[in-house]
Structure 1
């Protein structure tokens, strides 16, 4: 029995970890030339998290902006409010969504087995999965969008986004910081003649 449960628990753990992975979606203008961008400044951001102060608070906003600034600095960009090459903005919103969840239905024994040579007695003859049960559930989905706009033309040149279920609203600040870091990692590095 223990040898059966260990691989099953390992498989379920791996599936849970894989489902927790965040996918970053990136869209870049074909005309964008990131070699000319060296400095950035913030533009007004759009936060639509409803009236719930758990989702929208200044601490979460400050942490998000600090995470973006430190990762951009690691990539070689410098903040310059007076003469930026690009403007950074973000959108964050939480919305109610619905999804279909499929749960496996296990089969358990013991069952009386019947074999080619007669009765085999009691044993774990039918352990396994009997099928799936599907159900609909509502959840809160948080979406973070990071925009990079050319400061001269005022045109959007790069957008990265993450959508993820908000599992624990009290941890939204940490979740936002992790997700924004994953988005900013996809921003092309500043290429100067250094």
Structure 2
């Protein structure tokens, strides 16, 4: 059961199936044009093997689309991590006014009124995927992308969330290449 939850969380990496929160950063001095190959230094862990494979396949496909080739000891070393956490929201609903009575200043019915509130706690999982790229020669970080959002409950939505997160993460990769879309 825990492995299943972690798997779903991992893919929720990308969070909300509709719109994951994605952030990217890069070293402005890195020469991305010089990178022709990449290799996986660390694949994501802690999720379902199927989810991990979808993430790895998704990253591979997006890098290939940008002209990079996977090779042992590539120019770029990839490191991917998955994290998850539980969050809560509180929804409170009020009934009645609590004002009491009729008339001015509660003059005809007393000053007490009936009111009540009901609070519902909603617990949900948030998954985050972080992909780091390092220049294999210098061992310096050159790029980071992260995607996070609410983990969907169905497998189809999880897959859609992974795809949406990776699409947004790699939309402008390599940095400055808006035409790479």
Specify the alignment match of 2:50 in structure 1: 59
Asked if the contact 1:148–1:156 (Cα under 8 Å) also holds between the matched residues in 2, the reply is yes
- Give the counterpart of 1:73 among 64, 68, 89: 64
- Give the counterpart of 2:138 among 153, 166, 170: 153
Specify the alignment match of 1:4 in structure 2: none
Q: Matched residue of 1:47: which SS?
A: coil
Q: Structure 1 residues 80 and 47 mapped into 2: Cα distance closer, same or farther (>3 Å)?
A: same
Task: Supply the RMSD in Å over aligned alpha carbons.
Answer: 3.0
Q: Distance in 2 between matches of 1:101 and 1:181?
A: 33
Specify the alignment match of 1:187 in structure 2: 173
Compare relative contact order (CA 8 Å, sep 6+) and give the higher one, 1 or 2: 2
How far did residue 97 of structure 1 move? 1.6
How far did residue 167 of structure 1 move? 2.2
Could you list the per-position Cα deviations for residues 30-80 of structure 1 after superposition, in whole angstroms to 9, with x for gaps in the alignment? 3222111111000113534xxxxxxx1211111111111111111111111
Q: Matched residue of 1:60: which SS?
A: helix
Asked if the contact 1:64–1:176 (Cα under 8 Å) also holds between the matched residues in 2, the reply is yes
Does 2:60 correspond to 1:89? no
Asked if the contact 2:132–2:145 (Cα under 8 Å) also holds between the matched residues in 1, the reply is yes
Could you tell me which runs of 5 or more consecutive residues in structure 1 were left unpaired when the two chains were aligned: 1-17, 49-55, 104-132
Q: Distance in 2 between matches of 1:190 and 1:30?
A: 10
Q: Distance in 2 between matches of 1:63 and 1:19?
A: 15
Q: Matched residue of 1:158: which SS?
A: strand
Specify the alignment match of 2:161 in structure 1: 175
Could you tell me which runs of 5 or more consecutive residues in structure 2 were left unpaired when the two chains were aligned: 1-15, 94-117
Q: Distance in 1 between matches of 2:92 and 2:28?
A: 40
Paired residue total:
138
- Hey, which bits of structure 1, 4+ residues long, moved more than 6 A? none
TM-score by structure 2 length? 0.64
- Give the counterpart of 2:29 among 28, 31, 36: 31
Specify the alignment match of 2:104 in structure 1: none
Q: Matched residue of 2:45: which SS?
A: strand
Q: Which has the higher strand share?
A: 1
TM-score by structure 1 length? 0.60
Q: Distance in 2 between matches of 1:157 and 1:101?
A: 42
